Amino acid sequence: MTVVTTDENVPEVTSLDEIYSTVDQRARYQAITDTFVEKYGSEPEFMSRSPGRVNLIGEHIDYCFFSVLPMAIESDIVIAVRKSNSHLLRLINTDAEFSPSTVELSTAGDYVEIDKTNSDWASYFKCGHLVAHEYLNQVNPSSKIIPVGMDMVVDGTVPAASGLSSSAAFICAAALATLRVNGVSSISKRQLTSMAIVSERHLGVFSGGMDQSASVYGKPDHALYVQFMPKLKCTPFKFPSSSPPLSFVIANSLVHSNKHDTAPTNYNLRVVEVSLAAEVLAHKFEVEIPQDSGIGTGTLRGFLEAFFKKTEGAPPWDGEVVEGTRRLKKMAQLVREVFTKKDGYTKEEAAIELGISEQELYEKFLGKTPVRFEKLQIYARALHVYEEALRVLQYLTTMLHPPSDSASIFSSLGSLMDQSHSSLDSLFNSSCPELNTICKIARANGSAGSRVTGAGFGGCSVHLVPLDKAEQLKSALKEQYYKVQFPGLSDEQIEQALVVSKPGIGSLVYTGG
């Protein structure tokens, strides 16, 4: 495996051939430039772009600091930029569905204001702008930076609200554009990733760091092993060769799930539940855990470290597979033993488990972000997290040391993906009937393993399929899912829902003609 050095910079490229290998993008870039000239009267100075990603395995565990296995795709968000003399951020989207937006910058150097209750597309730009502005202030501690105005045209090929991380792609591209236009001509991948990770929290989503890492560190023909502890580290690796070759088909369920709007019952509630689980375990085993989760509590990774330190005097787990397997299996066993209420805990019951009052429960967990629930599913969520983290290690092991026969490569990777899906469906409740239908059809038509990818509750699924069966799989989904579920769709719309993309390059600045 090649290890990406920590100080590698976000590249600047001059040719589109360095960015894309599947679809010729010249006409697209020309159209972006034409729109720019039409709206602003001259050409953009540069474009920043950042890709979406598909997660192969390791779902809903990044915010618990467990490693994940995504890959960047070639679909991306491009922002064409010119510095302006106004104090305005002017945003135009080539997709008319997103109306133009103008943000007035403070002449005193205050940060842009982000309204948590409004997740329109420009808010995501503001998230990226804000963290870039914070960085500018950090590197110039003696003065308060007043960012310059920006004229922009945005063009995206990552479908929104579909689990392919259009939001992270946009935020990474926005932060990169803001840095550059304000004079930062080189930035390390780690720095850009770190600032992007915290940025969506300004919109009230307590995301982990998978999407931003994949978007920034993407590498053609490689998947990424992303570790968050002890430090953020992205290791690119190649897929094993097999006959027929491995391929991944991404199928969008076309069920939209806006993470921001559904956060109280979906994404943020899961973040709260896994944090609660970590703190209950810490309380039972009388260990202190670092308060470093997105909502300022302990994490399930933190508990794992503290437990082994206390019971065995063990050092922090460094990611080594055999040791990780042992520790994660132990964690899953503890979860099964400790959480006796398998169907969930009421607020009263959760407070008792933690030995705190309901008021304290509210202050520490439930009041950090609005959440709605009948029962807190502490047992099911924690079991998913530890077992999914284990599956990531198993998947990685198969990738790096593949069995000698191709059939076994497909069956071992495929079965881990199927298990992941089933756990997300039954323990994490982040699938939906449509995604379950898609996975079922796919498995009956050549897929070796099928799962929901990304946050879920709608959005995309990913299928591991021998390359020679990919067409069969796609036509089965077309006939049995899209035409049945959405009879009005044109063939072209169905084609677009089946995103086929090779692993692509990460964030970069394009300065070509």
Please list the active-site residues. 211
Radius of gyration, alpha carbons of the chain: 23
Q: Is 453 in the site for Mg ion (CB under 5 A)?
A: no
Of the pair 105, 127, the CB lying nearest ligand NG1 is at: 127
Which three-class secondary structure state does DSSP give residue 368? Answer: coil
Quote the distance between the C-alpha of residue 122 and its chain's center: 19
Q: Is 59 in the site for ligand NG1 (CB under 6 A)?
A: yes
Contact predicate 462/500, CB 8 Å: no
Strand partners, 462: 250, 451
Phi, psi of 385 (to 5 degrees): -60, -50
User: CB under 5 to 8 A by kind: which of Mg ion, ligand NG1, none does 207 bind?
Assistant: ligand NG1
Strand partners, 122: none
What's the rounded Cα separation, in Å, for the pair 331 and 333? Answer: 5
Among 55, 157, 167, 420, interactor with Mg ion by CB under 5 A: 167
Of the pair 168, 509, the CB lying nearest ligand NG1 is at: 168
Tokens for 126, please give them. 């503001």
Among 128, 147, 159, 163, interactor with ligand NG1 by CB under 6 A: 163
User: CB under 5 to 8 A by kind: which of ligand NG1, Mg ion, none does 425 bind?
Assistant: none
What's the rounded Cα separation, in Å, for the pair 90 and 13? Answer: 25
Among 180, 189, 190, 259, interactor with ligand NG1 by CB under 6 A: 259
Per-residue x/- mask for ligand NG1, residues 366 to 405, rule CB under 6 A? ----------------------------------------
Contact predicate 429/377, CB 8 Å: yes
Of the pair 120, 479, the CB lying nearest ligand NG1 is at: 120
Q: Is 167 in the site for ligand NG1 (CB under 6 A)?
A: yes
Tokens for 503, please give them. 């692993």
Q: Is 193 in the site for ligand NG1 (CB under 6 A)?
A: no
User: CB under 5 to 8 A by kind: which of ligand NG1, Mg ion, none does 62 bind?
Assistant: ligand NG1
The 3-class secondary structure across 288-310, one letter per residue, is CCCCCCCCCCCCHHHHHHHHHHH
**H-run or E-run covering 451:** strand 449-452
The piece of 29-37, 112-120, 166-174, 379-387 that touches Mg ion (CB under 5 A) is 166-174
Cα–Cα distances in angstroms (integers) from residue 338 to residues 239, 275, 310, in the given order = 39, 15, 18
Of the pair 151, 425, the CB lying nearest ligand NG1 is at: 425
The piece of 29-37, 167-175, 260-268, 438-446 that touches Mg ion (CB under 5 A) is 167-175
Q: Is 62 in the site for ligand NG1 (CB under 6 A)?
A: yes
Task: Provide the minimum distance between the beta carbon of 330 and ligand NG1 in the complex, in angstroms, as a whole number.
Answer: 23
Q: Is 294 in the site for ligand NG1 (CB under 6 A)?
A: no
Q: Is 455 in the site for ligand NG1 (CB under 6 A)?
A: yes
User: CB under 5 to 8 A by kind: which of ligand NG1, Mg ion, none does 60 bind?
Assistant: ligand NG1
What's the rounded Cα separation, in Å, for the pair 18 and 170? Answer: 20
Q: Are strands 88-93 and 149-156 parallel, antiparallel or unpaired?
A: parallel
- Name the residue with the smallest CB distance to ligand NG1: 454
Among 20, 63, 345, 379, interactor with ligand NG1 by CB under 6 A: 63
Q: Is 235 in the site for ligand NG1 (CB under 6 A)?
A: no
Contact predicate 289/279, CB 8 Å: yes
Task: Provide the minimum distance between the beta carbon of 62 and ligand NG1 in the complex, in angstroms, as a whole number.
Answer: 5
**H-run or E-run covering 465:** strand 460-466
Of the pair 44, 70, the CB lying nearest Mg ion is at: 70
Could you write out the DSSP letters of every residue in 302-349? Answer: HHHHHHHHHHH-PPPP-S-HHHHHHHHHHHHHHHHHH---TT-B-HHH
Amino acid at 126: K
Among 64, 205, 306, 409, interactor with ligand NG1 by CB under 6 A: 205
Q: Which of residues 462-491 bind ligand NG1 (CB under 6 A)?
A: none
Of the pair 17, 261, the CB lying nearest ligand NG1 is at: 261
Task: Provide the minimum distance between the beta carbon of 456 and ligand NG1 in the complex, in angstroms, as a whole number.
Answer: 7
Task: Provide the minimum distance between the beta carbon of 496 and ligand NG1 in the complex, in angstroms, as a whole number.
Answer: 18
Residue in 267, 269, 282 with CA at minimum distance from that of residue 335: 282
What's the rounded Cα separation, in Å, for the pair 469 and 451? Answer: 17
Q: Are strands 12-13 and 508-510 parallel, antiparallel or unpaired?
A: parallel
What's the rounded Cα separation, in Å, for the pair 498 and 251? Answer: 5
Q: Is 257 in the site for Mg ion (CB under 5 A)?
A: no
Q: Is 293 in the site for ligand NG1 (CB under 6 A)?
A: no
| Residues making contact with ligand NG1 (CB under 6 A) | 59-60, 62-63, 163, 165, 167-168, 200, 205, 207-208, 210-211, 259, 454-455
| Residues making contact with Mg ion (CB under 5 A) | 167
